[in-house]
Amino acid sequence: MQPADRLHALDAVRAYALLLGVVLHGSAAFLVGFPSPMWLDTPSDGAPIIYFVIHMFRMSAFFLIAGFFARVLVERRGVKAFIKDRAKRVALPLVLFLIVVGVTAAIGVALGGLPHGLDYLRSLAEGAQPQPGATPQEAALNGFNLGHLWFLYYLLIFYALTLAIRWLVLAVDPRGALAAGCDRVVAFLMRGVWGPVLIALPIAAYLYQLESWTEWLGLPAPFFLTPDAKAVIGYGIAFGLGWLLNRQVQALLDLQKIWYVYFAIAVALTIFCLATIGTTPRWSGGVLEGTDRLLYTAAYVIGLWCWVFAFVGAAVRFLSTPHPVTRYLADASYWVYLMHLSTLIFFITLLRPYDWHWSVKLVIYIGGSMVILLLTYHWFVRFTWIGAMLNGRRHPRPAKAPPAAPATESA
């Protein structure tokens, strides 16, 4: 095990993966044909590129680090303590914030639309649609919509699957031969640029043969309770790899040595993907066929993993030294991500009637949301039971300086 301070970079990866979600969902307001009219502003040509790139790798990087830290907790505190901790910090926020975000998002729409009059608000209500991918039939079949909190639901799925596999492996192989074999495979994968290719193979093979796969969107954001096989396979491999990498931390930390190589390959493959499928968002599958589909699928998933390795490697290279700002953002990122749709919809609703350039609006969406979310985190979360629930501990409030003693005249 490497010194603990080296792991600050991995904590930053998890945090920035969540914070990139604010940028992703802000840019979604400018995508042509975005399925939720309440979210849609005037479409642009630049925003789809931002959305495409961030969506390509963000959640895979998050689940990789989530798997890594999940094993840290299991090995340090045991299975029972792990289950209790995850129930408090994942399952409870999933249930609680489904309600909180629903209420605050409605308030955000009302406050954002109020300056433009009741007719404007009424038109928004009439045009409201379910989230992308949601149809009345799917909603009836799958139950309520998880929205952007789907990642918490899939974390619970991966925790359960991993603990079951761990129990089975320990039962049938108490001497650790299987674990040692996995270590050798993972070490080989992490040793060179062939790693992203080999990791991508099973994911790409499954996506390629799936006619319903929406190529432009890559791995899905599944909103419903029925598990999505694409998400289970794609993100599950990332989670499992992160879990196994915790057995040999140095292999993950060594990504810093050639992070720029992975970055260059990721950029090249992303350009190829956009050149193949176009920058116009496609909300259904079957856009590509034959060789184009084969090459696109391979390039997309390999590029995805090159982005992940570059993201992690750059963080280890530049963010390993503890820094107060990075630590604070890491603590705040969970709250920011849980609540950011409520602030974004406020700014989108408020600014939609104005004919401003999309980049100006996006900066206001993101900047305004971050200001509100960081202030609410500091005053209402960090030092309260909410902070204890989300971060595992309640930060002590800064001690107030004692009043200065009154000056006295010298004798």
11-46 burial, b at 16+ Cβ within 10 Å, e below that, comes to bbbbbbbbbbbbbbbbbbbbbeebbbebbbbebbee
Domain range spanning residue 240? 4-391
Residue 396 lies inside a defined structural domain of this protein: no
Residue 279 lies inside a defined structural domain of this protein: yes
183 — pLDDT class (breaks 50, 70, 90): very high
Residue 53 lies inside a defined structural domain of this protein: yes
Q: Indicate whether this model's pTM tops 0.85.
A: yes
| Across 93-97, 320-324, 396-400, least confident range | 396-400
Residue 408 lies inside a defined structural domain of this protein: no
φ, ψ at 395 (rounded to 5°): -70, 135
State the average pLDDT over residues 32-39: 87
Residue 403 lies inside a defined structural domain of this protein: no
Number of domains within the chain: 1
Residue 138 has pLDDT above 70, yes or no: no
72 — pLDDT class (breaks 50, 70, 90): very high
Residue 398 lies inside a defined structural domain of this protein: no
Residue 78 has pLDDT above 90, yes or no: yes
Residue 397 lies inside a defined structural domain of this protein: no
Residue 372 lies inside a defined structural domain of this protein: yes
Rank 5-14, 135-144, 213-222 by mean pLDDT and report only the highest: 213-222
Mean residue pLDDT across the chain: 90
2 — pLDDT class (breaks 50, 70, 90): very low
Distance (Å, rounded) from C-alpha 283 to C-alpha 55? 14
**Which pLDDT belongs to residue 142?**
44
